[in-house]
């Protein structure tokens, strides 16, 4: 039946990245300041995710995967914005080594809020199976030890032009590097297929990047029986 299909299905939720990108672009351009503080902005986005989870639960969805936000402060576009800001101020840049930690701090705050609220929601809705996947920590592990995972370039986009491949975005395959498997980033804000494959494998089985998804892996979530509690009328 349709009800069994809904309850036995797994729903994938991922949003918030574009909201942060828009916020940082407006800040970088000197546009009007947002109506929220950084912490309030993170809280608003986390609350929206929880609201969506509750709505799905009310529609009898019981198994959900919620994705955190990747380390935007390490993306090529954010590195370029920092480089341009430092150049205008006459400050020395570190040539792209390291990430923009102010940005990562806010993203980490959002991920922490979301993870904590999901944990509380699991206690409130015991027949719901909600998994939080922390792609932020996964990508940071890769960036901190790229050679271990087979990567060479942790700064520049494979597809793009200019410094960090971020001055002009990915327009066509002609602007792409020859070996995207050596890069962490594909374009201004998105990882390469090689990184996404590592994240997917780790989310599924817990390896090679441990505890990407909590409290269980997606494989374990799929193998568990779907909740069969009576449905309130």
Q: What is the pLDDT of residues 209-222, one digit of tens each?
A: 999 999 999 999 99
In a domain, 71, yes or no: yes
Number of domains in the chain: 1
In a domain, 135, yes or no: yes
In a domain, 186, yes or no: no
Q: Which of 25-34, 48-57, 186-195 has the lowest mean pLDDT?
A: 25-34
Chain segment 34-68, per-residue pLDDT in tens: 677 889 999 999 999 999 999 999 999 999 999 99
Rounded CA separation 61/128 (Å)? 8
Residue 99 domain boundaries = 2-144+195-223
Chain segment 127-144, per-residue pLDDT in tens: 999 999 999 999 999 999
Provide the whole-model pTM. Answer: 0.89
Residue 117 has pLDDT above 50, yes or no: yes
In a domain, 175, yes or no: no
In a domain, 164, yes or no: no
In a domain, 103, yes or no: yes
CB-based burial label for 37 (10 Å; 0-12, 13-18, 19+): exposed
Rounded CA separation 94/83 (Å)? 9
**What's the confidence (pLDDT) of residue 225?**
61
Q: What percent of the chain has pLDDT over 90?
A: 77
Residue corresponding to tokens 């568990």: 224
In a domain, 96, yes or no: yes
**What's the confidence (pLDDT) of residue 217?**
97
Q: Taking residues 185-201, what's their average pLDDT?
A: 97
In a domain, 152, yes or no: no
Q: Taking residues 148-152, what's their average pLDDT?
A: 96
């Amino acid at each position: 039946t349709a009800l069994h299909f809904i309850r036995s299905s797994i729903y994938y939720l991922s949003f918030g990245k574009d909201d942060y990108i828009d916020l940082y672009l407006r800040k970088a351009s000197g546009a009007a300041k947002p109506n929220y503080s950084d912490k309030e902005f993170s809280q608003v986005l986390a609350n929206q995710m929880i609201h969506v989870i509750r709505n799905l639960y009310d529609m009898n969805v019981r198994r959900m995967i919620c994705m955190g936000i990747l380390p935007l402060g390490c993306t090529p576009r954010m590195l370029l914005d920092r480089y341009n800001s430092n150049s205008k101020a006459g400050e020395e840049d570190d040539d792209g080594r390291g990430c923009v930690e102010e940005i990562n701090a806010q993203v980490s705050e959002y991920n922490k809020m979301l993870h904590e609220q999901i944990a509380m929601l699991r206690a409130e809705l015991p027949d719901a199976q909600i998994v939080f996947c922390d792609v932020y920590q996964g990508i940071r592990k890769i960036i901190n030890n790229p050679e271990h995972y087979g990567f060479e370039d942790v700064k520049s986009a494979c597809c793009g032009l200019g410094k960090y491949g971020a001055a002009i975005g990915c327009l066509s395959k002609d602007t792409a590097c020859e070996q995207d498997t050596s890069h962490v980033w594909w374009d201004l804000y998105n990882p390469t297929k090689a990184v996404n494959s590592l994240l997917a494998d780790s989310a599924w089985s817990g390896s090679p990047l441990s505890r990407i998804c909590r409290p269980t892996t997606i494989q374990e979530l799929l193998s568990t029986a779907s909740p069969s509690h009576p449905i309130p009328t």
